A and B are shown apart, each in its own frame.
Chain A
Amino acid sequence: MEVIALYGPYLLISGCIFGFLMAWGIGANDVANAMGPSVGAKALTLSQAILVACIFEFAGAYLAGGEVTSTIRKGIIDPVLLTDSPELLVFGMMASLLSAGVWLIIASFKGWPVSTTHSIVGAIVGFAAVGISAESVSWSKVGSIVSSWVISPIMAGIISYLIFRSVQSLILNTQNPFDNAKKYVPGYIFLVGFVISMVTLLKGLKHIGLTLNFQESLTYSILIGISIALLGSLILRRVKDTYEKRGDVVFDGVEKVFGILMVFTACAMAFAHGSNDVANAVGPLAAIVNVVQSGGEVAAKSSMPWWILLLGGGGIVAGLATLGYKVIETVGRNITELTPSRGFAAVLAAAATVVLGSGTGLPLSTTHTLVGAVLGVGLARGISAIDLSVVGRILISWVVTLPVGAALSILFFYIFKSIFS
């Protein structure tokens, strides 16, 4: 208690700085993975992609980020056990932000495909299990999070496989692919709007004072889906079956139609990414702010101040603006083989999976989900060449990140503890 009273403002300010830096890192690095396919497929230009990312990452974080944030904030550790020593929670969350940040910077320099989500979850579990006590960790919750990391890429893979197979039989393998593309693509656009709004309405909007039951959510989601599909059809009318050169890629009419679809899936992906990954930065910060502002009380039932989401969203935009656009460009340039008809299937499957995770409060790795989705399209023979050795590398980084994130956060936790007491 005394520690909080004494150092409260300092803890708050450094917590904000760490949280902002974390969000900056997400904007600089992770958003690139979410937006890369759309830029690579030339469905969006770089500046369009950044605009979409800014708007929809923020919307996703604010409208649908609540569940995952609350998992990070109070789902992994039981804050009630810390009523007597709330400063430990503050130190731990600061240590988690710092360790995840440090690990991500190291990994970025080394070129390892490390997940922000895995780093932060590993870090929180680490400081709680070692720094506080093994009982303070809600192991059943951790178990369900870890199994969601296994299930989400598989699920995204199955969905993208099915989506691409449907594209093959409805559009590509027909005598008139262009007309069929125009006919069926609004249906996929409907699916994008429906899935995203359904999950968001069902789970996400309670905190802005809008509570809907299942029936109402379903109705509104169908309406939203239909209106987005109508918007899509209007845009599609202008697409002609002619060749067009974008950069060094030649687009035929069919790919141009899918290019329009991919604008919608890009928005969905940014929304999904925002709803899930912003929590990595905002969740620990929210826990710190809660403790400090309540003067040391660990209140499990407190609401999250709005400015924290603003800080998180702002950090992401800052990351995008300073470094993210470059990373998006790099990622996009590397995956030009993923044309819109393939890219949309992968992105839609990943976005749907991630947003489902957000709705159920499971922090997923967007990148790994996308990897699963890309493999799904590959299995449907949609991608000419896939390097499977990369999958092995991702698995290794997956396994390594948890203990490293944990070890770093334990280290920082004890450093903070000795500085402030």
Chain B
Amino acid sequence: MKKSGYSDLIKKSPLKPIQDHMEISQQSVAELLIFLDHAVNSRWEDATSSRKNISDLENKADKLKAETRGLLTKGIFLAVQRSDLLDLIKLADEIPNTAKDISGLMLGRRMDIPSTISNSFINFAKEASQISSVAGDAVGHLEELFRFSFGGNVADRMQELILELDNLEKTNDQTEINLRAELFKLEADLPPIDVMFLYDIINKIGELSDRSQQVGHRISLIASR
């Protein structure tokens, strides 16, 4: 059959798989919350199956990342900067990876969260999940943003989301500081190696929020160009 000149000209939009990828990333963070709840209450069997879900989601995300990159080959002329989209997918892909790391580490070491800080700990993770869902919301507007040519209501909504993201991230930073302070008070009474890993987990959850925030900023850059 004849390949007509211009039906080959118009390629599949890379925006859809990027949105799908972010959707999966959000799901992995939501699943991480479930995992943490099991872990804090030492329900390790439930935690194992939850960890499996996170790992599956991470695999799915990897496939979507590969698909997106496949659509961003050289010689493609895009409505947005190719490098922006590549950066975006790279940053976004660290979210499910980090969720997988956290769950893997905690499950492998059967890590106990001291009951005095467990509430703060869960709260900290919840904030991280909220940040990723706002970032996901922003990414979810990417296609709409393109449809309305990067202007109008969608662009305004996007900037609102970015502001919200910044505020949440500020709160989350403070929560992290407080959580570390609480742990610092306890650390003398806990096994040193466990404490080391606890700090590591807190770090990683902090990274989760950072990545989500960076994703949001990349989106606002795309929107404003």
Contact = CB atoms under 8 A, between A and B. Distances in A.
A386 B9 contact: yes
Interface string B129-150: 0000000000000000011111
B13 A384 contact: yes
> Which 6 residue pairs are nearest across A and B when measured between Cβ atoms?
A173-B151, A113-B5, A384-B13, A334-B7, A385-B11, A111-B3
Interface stretch (A47-55, A206-214, A261-269, A389-397): A389-397
A337 B75 contact: no
Interface size class of B (residues with CB under 8 A): 20 to 34
A173 B6 contact: no
Interface string A308-350: 0000000000000000001100110011011101000000000
Interface in A16-50: 29, 32-33, 36, 40
A368 B5 contact: yes
A167 B110 CA distance: 59
A255 B151 CA distance: 16
A387 B6 CA distance: 9
A177 interface: yes
Interface string A178-217: 0000000000000000000000000000000000000000
Contact of B4 (A252, A367, A389): A367
Nearest to A367: B5
Contacts of A33: 4-7
A168 to B, nearest CB: 4
Given A32-B4, A172-B149, A384 B9 contact: no
Contacts of A375: 9
A394 B149 contact: no
Given A113-B3, A385-B77, A391 B9 contact: yes
Given A111-B3, A335-B6, A382-B79, A174 B71 contact: no
B14 interface: yes
A390 B6 contact: yes
Contacts of B79: 378, 381-385
Nearest to A328: B4
A107 interface: yes
B4 A113 contact: yes
B43 interface: no
A335 B148 contact: no
Interface of A: 29, 32-33, 36, 40, 107-108, 111-113, 168, 172-175, 177, 252, 254-255, 326-327, 330-331, 334-335, 337-339, 341, 367-368, 370-371, 374-375, 378, 381-391, 393-394
A283 to B, nearest CB: 23
Contacts of B71: 385
B10 A338 contact: yes
Given A113-B5, A388-B77, A173 B152 contact: yes
A341 B71 CA distance: 23
B117 interface: no
A259 to B, nearest CB: 14
B189 interface: no
Nearest to A386: B77
B152 A387 contact: no
A184 B201 CA distance: 56
A254 B9 CA distance: 25
Contacts, number: 132
Given A36-B4, A108-B2, A113-B4, A387 B151 contact: no
A173 B78 contact: no
Nearest to B14: A385
Contacts of A368: 5
A413 B146 CA distance: 54
A226 B204 CA distance: 65
A172 B9 CA distance: 24
A175 B1 CA distance: 44
B163 to A, nearest CB: 19
Contacts of B149: 168, 172-173, 381-382
Nearest to B78: A385
A331 B11 contact: no
A375 B14 CA distance: 18
Nearest to A373: B6
A29 B11 CA distance: 21
B7 A36 contact: yes
B6 A337 contact: no
B29 interface: no
B95 interface: no
27 contacts: A29-B2, A40-B7, A113-B3, A113-B8, A172-B148, A172-B149, A177-B152, A331-B4, A334-B8, A335-B10, A367-B5, A367-B6, A371-B6, A378-B77, A381-B79, A381-B80, A381-B149, A383-B79, A384-B15, A385-B10, A385-B13, A385-B71, A386-B9, A387-B9, A387-B10, A388-B77, A394-B5
A206 B3 CA distance: 38
Given A381-B80, A385-B10, 17 more contacts: A33-B5, A108-B1, A111-B3, A172-B152, A173-B148, A330-B7, A334-B10, A337-B10, A367-B4, A384-B79, A385-B78, A386-B11, A387-B9, A388-B75, A390-B5, A390-B8, A391-B9
